[in-house]
């Protein structure tokens, strides 16, 4: 039994006739062997690095400047 190969112009052509009339018959294309896909490597989840909490620098308390006591001006004694 001939294998019916569909072609554009010749219609149904026998596979046996394809040897003598290759133009009217499609040559069976070898199916390419699919390359086995390698299993995807699991991406390691990056461990979040703990952010060090910045220690608040204590603000130096400004030393209160002693207010100079105003020297009382001696009142001149009226003569």
Collapsing DSSP to helix, strand or coil, 24 comes out as helix
Collapsing DSSP to helix, strand or coil, 22 comes out as helix
Tens of pLDDT, residues 14-53:
554 555 555 555 556 667 777 888 788 888 888 888 888 8
Nearest to residue 25, comparing CAs of 2, 59, 48, 58?
A: 2
Letter string b/e over residues 64-74, b meaning 16 or more CB atoms within 10 A of that residue's CB = eeeeeeeeeee
Residue 9 has pLDDT above 80, yes or no: no
Predicted TM-score (pTM) above 0.75 = no
| Contact indicator for 18, 27 with CB cutoff of 8 Å | yes
| Angstrom distance (rounded) from CA 4 to CA 28 | 12
Rounded (to 5) percent helix, strand, coil in the chain: 5, 10, 90
């Amino acid at each position: 039994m001939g294998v019916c190969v569909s072609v554009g112009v010749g219609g149904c052509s026998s596979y046996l006739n394809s040897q003598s009339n290759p133009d009217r018959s499609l040559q069976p294309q070898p199916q390419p062997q699919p390359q086995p896909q390698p299993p995807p490597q699991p991406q390691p989840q990056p461990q979040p690095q703990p952010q060090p909490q910045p220690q608040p620098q204590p603000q130096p308390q400004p030393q209160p400047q002693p207010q100079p006591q105003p020297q009382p001006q001696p009142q001149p004694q009226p003569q």
